[in-house]
Structure 1
Amino acid sequence: MTRRFHDALPTLAIMLGASVWGLVWYPMRMLASMGLTGTLASATTSGAACLFVLLLKRRSVRTIRWHWLLVALGAAAGTTSVGFVWGAIHGQVMRVLLLFYLTPAWTAVFAHFILEDRLTRADAALSLLSLAGAVTMLWSPALGFPLPANLAEWAGLMGGMGFAMSNVLVVKLTRTMPGMKPEMRTAVIFGGAAIVATLVSFFEPMPAPPAASQMGMVAFIVIGLGVVLAANNVIMQIGLARVPANRASIIMLFELVVTALSSWLFAGEAPGPREWAGGACIVAACVLSAWVHRQARASGEASSAANQQAASEKKSTRAMV
C-alpha cells in the first residue's frame, strides 16, 4: 500500500499543480477588484515568485550563463502570464482557458522551426483538430468569421502561443545549456513574466489605486500567491521529472476540470453547448498528441534495440569466423 502511494506521488504532484493553475484566476480577480490591474497583479506575483526561488535556491545561481535563449524564454513566459491573467480577469474564464490550451497547434509549428523536429502528418492533423475546436467554440452566425470575440479572448489565445513557445524554448535551453539547474529556468520564467507584465502595465489604464485600508490585504495576497506559485512550480517539476511527458500532458488537463468547476462556483459561468463541443476537440487533440508521441518514442526505442541486437549478432558472427 505504501509502495503504491509512493508511486502515485508524482501524478498527485502534477494534479496539485494543475489544480493551483485552475484556481489562480480567482485571487487575481480579487486583486483587480481592489484596484490592482491584471498586469500589475501578474508583475507583482511573478516578481515575488522569482525572488522566492532565488532565495531558496541561491546556490544554483552560479549555473546561469548569458544566452539569448534566456531572454526569449523570459519574453515568452511574460506573454503567457499576461495573456492568461488579463484574459481570466476580464473574460469568461473557461473560454479563455480553452483558447489558451490550443498548444498542440502552436507547439507543432514552433518545434518544427526552432527544434527542427519533423512536422508529421499526425502533428498536422492534431493541430487541425485543436483549431477546429476553437472554430466550433468561436463561431456564431451573428459574428461571422470565427475570431475571438473580445480582447480577453485574444489575450488567452496569445497566452497559449506564449505557453507553447515557452515549452519549446525550455527544451532548446536544456539541450543548449545542460548544466543550468531547473530551478534557475523557473527563476527566468517568473523574472521574465514580472518584467514583461511591468512594461505592459504602462499601457493599461489605471483604475483608482487600492484604498489604504486594503493595502495590507493586497500585499498579503500578492506575497502569498507568489510563494504558492513558486512552490507549485517546484512541486510540478518534481512530478514532471518522474512521469513521462506524454502522460504528464494528459494529467495537466485536470486544470480544465478545476477551472470549469471553480468558474461555475465562484463566478456563475456555465459553458454552453458550443464551448463543450469545442473544448472536447481541444482536449481530444491534447490527449491524442500525447498518445502519438508515446507511440513514436516506443517505436524509436524498439528500432534502436533491434539495431543494437543486430550489431551484437554481427560482432558475434565475426568473432566466430
Structure 2
Amino acid sequence: MRAPTGTSLTPVLLTFMSAILWGLWWIPIRYLEGLGQTGAQAGILTSAGATLTLVIYILIMRVRPQISAKMFIGAALIGLAFSAYSVALTLSDVVRVILLFYLAPAWSKIIEWAFFGQPWRHSATLTLGASLLGAFFVLGGDLSLSTVGLGDLIAIMSGVAWSVGAALVFSGGKAEAASITLVTAGSGMVWAILFGWSFGEALPLLAIDPKTVQSLALGLIYLTPVLFITMWSAQRLPPGLITFLFTLEIVAGVSSGAWLLDEPFGVMQIMGCTLIVGAAVVEAVTALRPAPKHAPSA
C-alpha cells in the first residue's frame, strides 16, 4: 500500500477538474433523456462511444493493454459506478442522487482502515463528518428514509461500487491509463445493457440518426477524457482522498441544478457546499503534506 503522504499535486488538481465535470454529467444524461432515451440506453451509447475511441487510441499508439486481475475488477466496478449513476440520474432528483452517491467517503475510509491498515485519525473523523453534514445541508436538512426509491438505491450502490473499485485500482499495481479506462468504459456499457435488460427496456439501435450520433459524440468528447483523468488519478491517489476530492461534484451538480432546474439553493445549500469544499481541502492538504522525517537513532 502506498503511503498517502507526499502525494503529487498534479493528480489532485486533475481530480478537482474531473469532479466538476462529473457534477455536470447530469446535463447530457437529461438531454439524451429528452431525446427519448432512458438512463440505461444513454449509458450504453455514451459508453460505446468512449470504448470505440479508446480502442482506436490504443491501436494507433500501440499501447500494450496489460492489466492485473485486481485492477481489472476495480476498473469494472468503477464502470458499474458510473453506469448506475447515469441510470439513477433519470430516476430521482439530481441533488438526491449526488448526495446518496457521496456516502462513498464513508465506504472509502472504512476500506482504507479495515483492509489497507491505514490508521483512523481524528482528522478523518472531522473531514468525514463535515462532508456528510454538508451533504445533509445541501438537501435542506431533509433526508427521510421512508421516501427512498429505486433511483436512490441505485445511487447508493453506485457509491459503494466506486469506493471498492477505486481501492482495487489504487492497490492493483501499474498499468497504462488507457487500458484501465478501456475496461471501465467497456464494462460500463455492459452494466448499462444489464440495467436496461432488468428494466425491460429495448437496446438502442445503432442506426445512423441524430439521436445515436449525439450519444456517441458525447461519449467521445465528454465521457472519454473525464474517465481517463479519473482512472489516471485513481492509480495515484488513495481511495479516501480521491473520493473526498470528488465531493466537489456535489457543488457543481447542486449549483447547476439550481440554475437550470430551479432546484433549491439557499442558505442551507451554501453552508453545505462550504462544508464539503472545506472537507475536501483539508483531506487534500493532509495527503499532500510530506511524511515526517524520523531522527536517526543514536
TM-score (norm 1): 0.72
State the shift of 1:28 in Å: 1.0
Matches of residues 1-321 of structure 1 in structure 2 within 5 Å?
A: 14=15, 16-58=17-59, 59-64=62-67, 67-74=69-76, 76-134=77-135, 137=139, 140=142, 146=145, 149-174=148-173, 178=174, 180-206=175-201, 216-228=209-221, 229-234=223-228, 252-295=246-289, 298=290, 300=291, 302-303=292-293, 306-307=294-295, 310=296
**For each residue in 1:208-258, what CA deviation from the matched residue of structure 2 results, as whole angstroms up to 9, or x when unmatched?**
989x9xx62211222111112113334566788999999977765554443
SS of the residue 2:118 aligns to: coil
CA–CA separation in structure 1 for the residues paired with 2:260 and 2:235: 33
CA–CA separation in structure 2 for the residues paired with 1:70 and 1:209: 27
State the shift of 1:49 in Å: 0.9
SS of the residue 1:270 aligns to: coil
Verify the 8 A CA contact 1:90 1:152 in the aligned structure 2.
yes
CA–CA separation in structure 1 for the residues paired with 2:63 and 2:229: 17
State the match for 1:3 in structure 2.
none
Which has the greater radius of gyration? Answer: 1
SS of the residue 1:60 aligns to: coil
State the shift of 1:55 in Å: 1.6
For the structure 1 residues 114 and 42, does the alpha-carbon distance in structure 2 shift closer, same or farther, using more than 3 Å as the test?
farther
Percent sequence identity over aligned pairs: 23
Any unmatched runs of 5+ in structure 2? Answer: 1-8
RMSD of Structure 2 on Structure 1 (CA) = 3.8
Aligned length: 285
CA–CA separation in structure 1 for the residues paired with 2:81 and 2:241: 23
Verify the 8 A CA contact 2:105 2:244 in the aligned structure 1.
no
CA–CA separation in structure 1 for the residues paired with 2:134 and 2:275: 5
Pick the structure with more helix per residue: 1
For the structure 1 residues 188 and 87, does the alpha-carbon distance in structure 2 shift closer, same or farther, using more than 3 Å as the test?
same
State the shift of 1:148 in Å: 6.1
SS of the residue 1:73 aligns to: helix
CA–CA separation in structure 2 for the residues paired with 1:238 and 1:15: 13
For the structure 1 residues 24 and 167, does the alpha-carbon distance in structure 2 shift closer, same or farther, using more than 3 Å as the test?
same
CA–CA separation in structure 2 for the residues paired with 1:20 and 1:129: 23
Which amino acid in the other structure matches residue 225 of structure 1?
L
For the structure 1 residues 290 and 14, does the alpha-carbon distance in structure 2 shift closer, same or farther, using more than 3 Å as the test?
closer
CA–CA separation in structure 2 for the residues paired with 1:268 and 1:221: 26
State the shift of 1:25 in Å: 1.2
